[in-house]
Amino acid sequence: MWIAYVVTSQDRLEDGSFNKLIKSLESQSCPVRIIVGLRGCALPPEYAGKIHSSITLPFRISLSSARNRLLAHEPSNLGDWICFPDDDCWYPKDLLLKVNSELKNFDFLVGVIDTGQKKIHKFFKSEPYVKIGLQEALKHTASAALFLDAEAMRGFVFDERLGLGAQVGSAEDLDLTLYLLSKGSRGLFSKDILVKHPFKPNRERDYFEGSIAALSKYYRSIRFARFSAFRRTIKGILLFASGKLSSSQLKRTFFYLLNRW
C-alpha cells in the first residue's frame, strides 16, 4: 500500500512541527510516498532523502490552491490512498496498518483528531465503526484524519473559495467528503484511528461558516443537505447571541443558506 501525504507547510519548519510529522511517517510499517509543497521557501537539504517530491509555492497562496498545485504536480504518482495532513499533526506508530485493514471495503475512512482533551472522546461511546452519512461527515470530517482511495477522488478539485487563506477559511475537507458522498462513495468512521494534533480553541466558531457554504453546494445531490444547513444556521444564531459569531459571519451564512453557492 502506498499513501501519498500531500503537505503544505509555511511556518512549521522552525518550530519543529514539520519535522515531527515527517518522523511519524517514517515510523510507519508500510511504504509512504510524501509529496510536499512549501509556501515561500525551498525544501531544506536535510529532508532530501525523506521526501518523494516537493515544490516551492508562492508565499501567499490558499491551502486549497496549494493542494491543487501539488495534485497537478504528481498526477500519476499519488499512490493507492491519499491523505492531506496538517503540518502540525503527527501519526502514531503503525497507524497506517490499521488504516489499511479498515479501508479494504470502503472508499474513504474518517478517523479522530486526538488533541489530548478528554472531552473529544464523549462523542464516541457508540459502535467503534459507523458508515459515513451526511451527519457523520458534518460531525467528524477533518483532513488530517481523512484517508481516501485515490481512484474515488479522481476528478475532484479543491474549491479554492474554501480553506485557510481563502474567501471562507475552512471546510475544504468537508467539501471533499460531501463530494464523495454525492458520488455514492462508501465511507467508514473509525474511532480507533487516532491522529495526534495540538488543541485549538474556538474550532466550532471557525468552522461554522465553512460548513454552511460547503453544504450549499450539494443541495441537489445530497438528500437533506439543505435541511442540515438550516439546522446549523439556527445554531449560528445562538452563537451570534452569545457573542461567539460576528454579524458579518451570520449575514454570509444566511446567503449560503438561501443560495446554492
pLDDT digits (tens, 9 = 90+) for 44-58: 888 888 888 888 888
Q: Are residues 29 and 136 in the same domain?
A: yes
Regarding whether 189 and 232 lie in a shared domain, the answer is no
Calculate mean pLDDT across residues 78-107. 88
How many separate domains does the chain show?
A: 2
What pLDDT is attached to residue 121? 47
- Residues 192 and 238 placed together within one structural domain of the fold: no
Domain final residue, candidates 146, 167, 199: 199
Q: Report the candidate in 168, 181, 199, 163 with the shortest Cα–Cα distance to residue 110.
A: 181
Q: Domain containing 131 — which CATH number?
A: 3.90.550.10
Within this chain, do residues 176 and 217 fall inside the same structural domain, yes or no? no
- Note whether 140 and 226 are same-domain residues: no
Please provide residue 12's backbone torsions phi and psi, each rounded to the nearest 5 degrees.
-100, -5
SS3 109: strand
Quick one: pLDDT band at residue 2, thresholds 50, 70, 90? low
Q: Are residues 162 and 51 both part of a single domain? A: yes
**pLDDT of 203 strictly over 80:** no
Q: Provide the residue range defining the domain that includes 25.
A: 3-199
Which alpha helices (DSSP H) does 32-189 contain, by range? 63-73, 95-102, 134-140, 172-182
In contact, 99 and 176? CB cutoff 8 Å: no
| CA 193/CA 202 separation, integer angstroms | 23
Single pTM value for the model: 0.90
Same domain, residue pair 160 and 256: no
Same domain, 7 and 76: yes
Task: Examine the domain organization and report whether 186 and 261 are in the same domain.
Answer: no
Task: Centre a 10 Å sphere on the Cβ of residue 114 and count the other Cβ atoms it contains.
Answer: 18
Final residue in a domain of this structure, among 162, 183, 199 = 199
Same domain, 240 and 178: no
- Calpha distance 160→15 (Å, rounded): 27
Q: Is 80 exceeded by the pLDDT of residue 228?
A: yes
Query: What are φ and ψ of residue 65, in 5° steps?
Result: -65, -40
pLDDT digits 0-9 by tens, 153-196: 888 999 999 998 899 999 999 999 999 999 999 999 998 899 99
113 and 210 within one domain = no
